[in-house]
Amino acid sequence: MTTYVPSWLPQPTLAYALDFARRISFATVILLDATDPVVSHLPIEVDPGGDERAPALRFHVASGNALAERLDEESQLLAIFRGVDGYISPTWYDHENVPTWNYAAVHMQGPAAPLTEDALRAHLLALLESQDAHLGVREEFIEQYVPDIRGFTMTSPRIEPVFKLSQDKNRASFDGAITGLRAACRATLADEMSSLKRHLDD
């Protein structure tokens, strides 16, 4: 995996990147086959690890999905978690600059292994609990779907944060971009920029 990340843009820690991916819980998953890549857009359970447990991604696909048919122990997957993005006007800065686009993403790459049926059930319950805790899903509800899906886990993935959120700008320009975004009703992007700035300033 090779991604262009400008050297002048400080990137967050891996722990921050994992939490970012966990908050999104949705990724574009690509089977890295040189002749015929397979692309799927999937909800992802992000396990940040801890207590000597490695970070892991767990996900599931329909049994008819080409990922289920072609994944093996030698396969490499790339999961791309994309956050909010948006246009940044040069008029928001305190000095002359160019128009640009801000964005946030985390890439994770590694091999994937099949989940056992018990692990698949646990994954489905965990995913639903994280997104809709009040639904009160029981194992009987999950059971009817297990025969038609396949679960996988990517353990100890290579993690690459790719954040371009004006973190290299001086305080006046950064604050100007925040003000401009909020005036343009782009508060979500402004909040993501502020979160990263606080993290990098700590």
Per residue in 87-134, pLDDT (tens digit) is: 999 999 988 889 999 999 999 999 999 999 999 999 999 998 888 888
Residue 7 and residue 9: Cα distance in Å, rounded? Answer: 6
Residue 167 and residue 175: Cα distance in Å, rounded? Answer: 11
Residue 30 and residue 32: Cα distance in Å, rounded? Answer: 6
Percent of the chain topping pLDDT 70: 100
Return the beta strands (E) in 89-193 as ranges. Answer: 100-110, 113-114, 149-155, 158-164
CATH topology of domain 14-90+100-166: Pnp Oxidase; Chain A (2.30.110)
C-alpha Rg value of the chain to the nearest Å? 19
Q: What would the two tokens of residue 191 be? A: 């909040």
Q: What is the pLDDT of residues 65-86, one digit of tens each?
A: 999 999 988 899 999 999 999 9
Whether the pLDDT of residue 139 is over 80: the answer is no
Contact predicate 58/48, CB 8 Å: no
The CA-to-CA distance between both ends of the chain, in Å, stands at 29
For the full predicted model, state whether its pTM sits above 0.75: yes
Q: What would the two tokens of residue 197 be? A: 């700035």
Residue 117 and residue 193: Cα distance in Å, rounded? Answer: 40
Q: What is the average pLDDT score of the chain?
A: 94
User: 10 CB contacts (<8 Å, ≥6 apart)?
Assistant: 167, 168, 200
One-letter identity of residue 4: Y
Residue carrying the six token digits 């290579």: 158
200 phi and psi angles, rounded to 5 deg: -70, -25
